[in-house]
Structure 1
């Protein structure tokens, strides 16, 4: 009886410790970059996040494919020259015209500007397109079944875009060694890489991004999946697409990692995470523990959202997300900057 009581007490203590540890880590937030705040628009545009979420609920009801598209736009924006809305800008040739940005959906770009229009109508031109892009990506995750989480706001929009910077985007053909090196240049570690790769738990990919695994056939690919992909993609230039997650292709969950464990990852960069000993354990952990995946994903994505941001009087607040504002006199610009600063208090 005494032994049974001892083990019962030990078990209860363990549960209490595990519970407190989980909630402590869950509550922890990444440090903020100067100029950003979780309450940046609480006084000046208190309905901001409600406007964004309500509009996206309507959009996804008719086109849930825009959810992964919005997350991809956010990632490709932040990874090139920081979260400044540069990928939204029109240009010839522009940032979006580069091969690494192929397949960015114009409908999702329009959704971001539609939200901008609603927000500016409600609050005036005080919310940046880059902040709206971050919020749209967060809600794309949440409204698809993923975690809900706070994102710091206060970014301003850039007035330039980068074509050369797109060469630094992680490629679907990369091995894990190359992927880890690419992310390390932005100060992300191995856990971040595996967690952020989980963004491929929804969305679709064009044939050209994975045809290298079909011809010649990659022995690390499940044979049944290979046959299906070969039927979909007779050649690399086919305009067809395939689901990145064969189990729950429209849901943000941890099934992507189960795909990898069953050799059913689509990209080289995905499936190689199971092959490489540095990342294999994390793939297994996330496949077995969805809350752990969500926790690590949120931590990494919030830090990603703060890469090289413009704040204060840097950049501008675009009147339309796809073009920079017309140039104004220094006096007019200074007056607007002061007005936007005062509006925060």
Structure 2
């Protein structure tokens, strides 16, 4: 989600968020598109833009492309180095018809306390888009990793390898010695 953990591949022995039933609608092409965008951006500004930022910008652009509002999203997120296989269990469950309508949506339309708001949004697209954009930004900021939390991944599909190999350490040391000669 907001920390791009959904992009992480499992290591072969563990599950990943993409394989959770709540995420079966995600297309491999969409996941790959995020990695392709990251690869292009990395050439221009290496280790600056996170997969999490690319993901939230892509989601915002999808909303805009389908006629939704255009709005700014805060940037500066870090990518998580692990995923939580249980977090999708906290999402609302769609109707048995699986047409994407949440029970809560129908409840809002029929509840006397919220029916007026639903009708107002249905008749005033600008007001709905404004509230939608504000809610999108708020949700995209939930549990955001910043500072020393997380990292900016070299690949959206795997955490960075924190350990240097012996060869890399030797090369680094030799380069340092040669530079000081």
The Cα of 1:109 is off from its aligned counterpart by 0.4
The Cα of 1:97 is off from its aligned counterpart by 1.4
| Contact 1:112–1:129 under 8 Å retained in 2 | yes
Q: Which of 104, 111, 122 is 2:26 aligned to?
A: 104
Q: Which of 128, 137, 148 is 2:50 aligned to?
A: 128
The Cα of 1:95 is off from its aligned counterpart by 1.3
Q: Which of 273, 295, 302 is 2:108 aligned to?
A: 273
Per the alignment, residue 9 of structure 2 pairs with 90
Query: Following the alignment from structure 2 to structure 1, what is the Cα–Cα distance between the partners of residues 40 and 132?
Result: 29
Per the alignment, residue 187 of structure 1 pairs with none
The Cα of 1:278 is off from its aligned counterpart by 3.2
Relative to structure 1, the CA distance from residue 287 to residue 98 in structure 2 (aligned partners, 3 Å threshold; closer, same or farther) is same
Query: Following the alignment from structure 1 to structure 2, what is the Cα–Cα distance between the partners of residues 267 and 155?
Result: 29
Per the alignment, residue 175 of structure 2 pairs with none
User: Secondary structure of the equivalent of 1:321?
Assistant: coil
Query: Following the alignment from structure 1 to structure 2, what is the Cα–Cα distance between the partners of residues 267 and 171?
Result: 7
| Contact 2:93–2:102 under 8 Å retained in 1 | no
The Cα of 1:166 is off from its aligned counterpart by 1.4
Higher helix share: 1
In structure 1, the gaps of 5 or more residues are 1-76, 78-82, 174-208, 212-241, 245-265, 330-345
Q: Which of 116, 123, 129 is 1:288 aligned to?
A: 123
Q: Which of 134, 143, 150 is 1:308 aligned to?
A: 143
Within a 5 Å distance, the mapping from 1:147-296 to structure 2 comes to 147-173=69-95, 209-210=96-97, 266-296=101-131
Per the alignment, residue 66 of structure 2 pairs with 144
Query: Following the alignment from structure 1 to structure 2, what is the Cα–Cα distance between the partners of residues 281 and 328?
Result: 57
User: Secondary structure of the equivalent of 2:114?
Assistant: helix
Query: Following the alignment from structure 2 to structure 1, what is the Cα–Cα distance between the partners of residues 76 and 102?
Result: 35
The Cα of 1:110 is off from its aligned counterpart by 0.7
The Cα of 1:292 is off from its aligned counterpart by 0.4
Query: Following the alignment from structure 2 to structure 1, what is the Cα–Cα distance between the partners of residues 5 and 113?
Result: 33
| Contact 2:68–2:129 under 8 Å retained in 1 | yes
| Contact 1:171–1:269 under 8 Å retained in 2 | no
User: Secondary structure of the equivalent of 1:87?
Assistant: helix
| Contact 1:157–1:317 under 8 Å retained in 2 | yes
TM-score (structure 2 length as normaliser): 0.82
TM-score (structure 1 length as normaliser): 0.44
